[in-house]
Structure 1
Amino acid sequence: MACGSINSQFGAVVLWHGKGQSISSNLELSKCKPQLRLSSLDSLRQYCSPFTLQFKFKVPSQNFVRSVVIKCDHPQNADFPRYYSKKEKKPFPVPIVELRRAARKRFKDSRGQPKKPLPPPKIGLLVKSLIPLAYTVYNARITLINNLRKLLKVVPVQACKWCNEIHVGPVGHPFKSCRGSSASVRNGVHEWTKAVVDDIIVPVEAYHLYDRLQKRITHAERFSIPRIPAVVELCIQGGVDLPEYPTKRRRKPIIRISKSEFVDADESELPDPDPEDPSPPLLTEIPDTEIIPPSTAEETVALAEETLKAWEEMRGGANKLMKMYQVRVCGYCPEVHVGPSGHKAQVCGAHKHQQRNGQHGWQTAVLDDLIPPRYVWHVPDVSVPLSRELRTFYGQAPAVVEICVQAGAAVPEQYKPTMRLDIGIPKNAREAEMAV
């Protein structure tokens, strides 16, 4: 009798025949699949590029063994981002021990050496080489929002009514993972509604600073200072000029009096600035009433490819800006502050905020704090709904990537490991039990 197994760890499907079976040098998958009920071979053939087969024949005593190994050329089964509960503090990007060790080494190496000049952001100047990048990130964000509004007209996206989980597909997934209000009463079942752009791109806001080096915002000033998207604030501090959000631009470095005190240099003697090249044009968001969805499949694919490109430009450019312009995040809540030090507004309501008098626990932010990639379940086939029993076989991807993939765009290489494209998905729970 024929038997089979799916090795999900190594991305291989192995078939073998027992005693008394005849061996044929030409193994046809179409003949093996009905016997072994391994419908996952079709999905492997679809997603694995190139799709290769390796045949191994062994003739032990009294038994004939025949195996087929299917290999893929990209990594697989990467771990999903860890979910942190509200009672946990975010880990530091670099452990405290490593920071202290690096500080001691810098102090030891700087003995007897002249002081190194501070980078432009710390002396109040712009990094001129990063100004075009700031405009690129700003326009990429606007392009991403406009394109997502168009794609939502042709790609259905579901959002839970009670929690922040979303799902890309005509119907929501059946997994009982709701953590919203009265989730225990509903046994963790989601209630799905139509999603909007804010469900896909998490709105992370920050205070707009007229002067990046100004004194820290106090608790009494929390309502008098406007709040704007954190990515936009990062672009403004990187060199983007927006008339509605003025900011101070210095032409000479500041004069540092102490660690926390400085005065501006006298710029009255400087000549008039030379006329610079015109700044790149700034895009604007298209209202929902003026959104025109793509009419053909070719337009949808082209729009999805453009959306993926804008997503990568925004994240990649913001990551480069964050290496020069510091961004802070609270270790207990999602609050983000673009600046050298966080504000003093006592509005943190996370776990044990009473012990901190409502103040945030600021630490260095990473890219996912500024632009959170809201992960969703990857749907291999839109016509086949996800099964609760086969949850371990499904992968995940950021919502923007999943929307573009379902719209016809090619899967980016960096997202293939978590999407588990090389894992064969069984038809039912009985077939899943045969997987090793």
Structure 2
Amino acid sequence: MEGLRKMARCGFVFSGKLRRLYGTKVDLRKLRPMILKRIDKRAQGYPVRAMVPVANEVLQARNVLIHGISTLLDFLPLTACKFCPEIYIGEQGHLIQTCWGYKHRAKNRVHEWIKGGLNDILVPVETFHLNYMFQSVIRHNERFDFDRIPAVVELCWQAGADLQEENLNSSSWNLEAASESVPESQHLLPDDLASTANKTLTAWETLRSGVEKLLLVYPVKVCKYCSEVHVGPSGHKARLCGVFKYEGWKGAHFWMKANVDNLVPPKMVWRRRPQDPPVLVNERKDFYGRVPAVLDLCSRAGAVVPKKYNCMMKLQGLSGPANNIFFGITREPNF
């Protein structure tokens, strides 16, 4: 009994198990200098030297990808929906009823197709440009004091990539501006076109794999309810979330860990195979392949597609329901 009293005086109570009571109050004002000092020490470990070549490789692959897609679009037509982000590589758009962009109208309608461009394949994802990773949190009234640049460029900048100051200007990294700087390529031979397609597809794979490696070392946040991305250990405080369903939050973002699809979105498209009809119809959409737009564009130009995409492309799949005939009886399979 005397032992239990001593334990109680020392901060322990006995209720079946020994448990520690933490009743000491902590003065956060005294801990603040210690926390800030620890953050400064943590920042000294960045950028990680081993990841600098990866960041430079990602930037180089991004440039090759932009110029390669711009060249291929001179030979292959691209159509985009007027009311939603759906795109299709071909002269005529498909008839699959997946349009959800009509205002005050029924969903799942046929798309209205117009001519597409580079931004329809490579979706621009921008973020605030920081001077260093552990910079103070951006407040809502400070949002106009920071430039907006592509998220991949910001990630490579924080990873130690070799960038000139003028290259950090958002206008110099505009995709449409980059596509206009590509020289005329109307006289490319089929072999040269296939070579360009292979280089473009390789750059796409290098870009995504490189970003995936950088995300293992550098923290990047994405909003759970919109496409906003922030490169840094904690998200910014600018109230820019455009999801009206959560307007009770006054536009504040709900941050979570980002992945490679948040920085390099794989724009998915329906792919027409040789066994499919000239125009894809809605009734057979379960049989069509659906692949990233970059992959479909490069494969149509003669690029060799990696085997890992065969399942998505459904190369040997049927173009529609098949009829089985047994002893003169026709029966449609139940899928």
Would the TM-score normalized by the shorter structure come out above 0.5? yes
- Residue of structure 1 in register with 2:87 after alignment: 166
- Aligned partners of 2:42 and 2:311: how far apart in 1? 37
Q: Identify which of 124, 140, 143 aligns with 2:61.
A: 140
Q: 2:299 aligns with which of 392, 399, 405?
A: 405
Q: Distance in 1 between matches of 2:214 and 2:296?
A: 26
Q: In the aligned structure 1, how far is the partner of 2:289 from the partner of 2:154?
A: 34
Which of 312, 332, 335 is the matching residue for 1:434? 332
Per-residue Cα deviation, 1:306-336 (whole angstroms, up to 9, x for no partner): 1100000000001000110111000010000
Equivalent of 2:284 in 379, 382, 390: 390
5+ residue gaps, structure 1: 1-116, 248-283
CA 1:395–1:129 in 2, change beyond 3 Å: closer, same or farther? same
Shift, 1:292, TM fit: 1.9
Q: 2:266 aligns with which of 360, 369, 373?
A: 373
Q: Map Cα deviations across residues 29-71 of structure 1 (whole Å, 9 max, x no partner).
A: xxxxxxxxxxxxxxxxxxxxxxxxxxxxxxxxxxxxxxxxxxx
Distance 1:430 1:288 in 2: 53
Which deviations, in whole Å up to 9, do the C-alpha atoms of 1:239-283 show, x marking residues without a partner? 113232699xxxxxxxxxxxxxxxxxxxxxxxxxxxxxxxxxxxx
Query: Residues 15-414 of structure 1: matches in 2 within 5 Å?
Result: 122-182=43-103, 184=105, 188-244=109-165, 285=178, 287-288=180-181, 290-293=183-186, 295-381=188-274, 384-414=278-308
Identical columns (%): 41
**Alpha carbons of structure 1 residues 210 and 218: separation in structure 2 relative to 1, 3 Å:** same
Confirm or deny that 1:417 pairs with 2:315.
Answer: no
- Output the CA distance in 2 between the equivalents of 1:320 and 1:174: 39
Q: Distance in 2 between matches of 1:169 and 1:429?
A: 26
Aligned-pair CA distance for 1:121: 6.6
Rate the CA distance shift 1:335–1:433 in 2: closer, same or farther, 3 A: farther
Distance 1:286 1:377 in 2: 24
TM-score between the two structures when normalised by the length of structure 1: 0.60
Instruction: Give the residue type in structure 2 aligned to 1:333.
Output: C
Structure 2 Cα separation of the partners of residues 408 and 294 of structure 1: 16
Q: CA deviation at 1:122?
A: 4.3
Q: Secondary structure at the match of 1:223?
A: helix
TM-score, normalised relative to structure 2: 0.77
**Shift of residue 385 of structure 1?**
2.2
Residues 218-246 of structure 1, C-alpha deviations (whole Å, 9 max, x = no match): 11111110000000001111111323269
CA 1:318–1:380: 2 relative to 1, 3 Å = same
Change (3 A) 1:134 1:433: farther
Distance (Å, rounded) in 2 between the aligned partners of 1:353 and 1:314: 34
Rounded to whole Å, the distance in 1 between the matches of 2:252 and 2:100 is 26
Work out the CA distance in 1 between the residues paired with 2:46 and 2:306: 37
8 Å contact from structure 1 (residues 149, 288) kept in 2: no
- Secondary structure at 1:222 match in 2: helix
1:62-119 CA distances to partner (integer Å, 9 max, x unpaired)?
Answer: xxxxxxxxxxxxxxxxxxxxxxxxxxxxxxxxxxxxxxxxxxxxxxxxxxxxxxx99x
Deviations 1:146-204 (A, max 9, x none): 11011001111110011110011121010111111347369712111111110001100
Higher relative contact order (CA 8 A, sep 6+): 1
Provide the rounded CA distance (Å) in 1 between the counterparts of 2:225 and 2:87: 23
Q: How far apart, in 2, do the equivalents of 1:168 and 1:152 lie?
A: 10
Deviation at 1:289, TM superposition (A): 6.6
Q: Distance in 1 between matches of 2:255 and 2:333?
A: 46
Q: Is the 8 A contact 2:222 2:257 kept in 1?
A: yes
- 1:183–1:174 CA distance, 2 compared to 1 (3 A): farther
**Cα separation, partners in 2 of 1:123 and 1:351, compared to 1, 3 Å:** farther
Shift of 1:285: 3.9
- Equivalenced residue count is 283
1:122 and 1:418 mapped to 2: Cα distance?
42
Q: Tell me, in whole angstroms, the C-alpha distance in 1 between the residues paired with 2:222 and 2:208.
A: 17
Preserved contact between residue 159 and residue 166 of structure 1 (Cα < 8 Å): yes
For residues 104 and 189 of structure 2, the distance between their equivalents in structure 1, rounded to whole angstroms, comes to 41
The letter of the residue matching 1:125 is Y
d(CA) in 2 for partners of 1:153, 1:375? 21
8 A contact 1:294–1:300 mirrored in 2: no
**1:314 aligned counterpart, secondary structure:** helix
Distance (whole Å) between structure 2 residues aligned to residue 303 and residue 229 of structure 1:
24
Deviates more, 1:221-230 or 1:233-242: 233-242
> Which SS does the other structure have where 1:329 is aligned?
strand
> Per-residue CA shift, 1:280-304, capped at 9, x if unaligned?
xxxx945357342452111111111
In terms of fraction of residues, the more helix-rich structure is 2
CA shift at 1:351, angstroms?
4.0
SS in structure 1 of the partner of residue 145 of structure 2? coil
Aligned mates of 2:210, 2:87 — CA distance in 1: 26
**In 2 relative to 1, CA 412–243 (structure 1 residues): closer, same or farther, beyond 3 Å?**
same
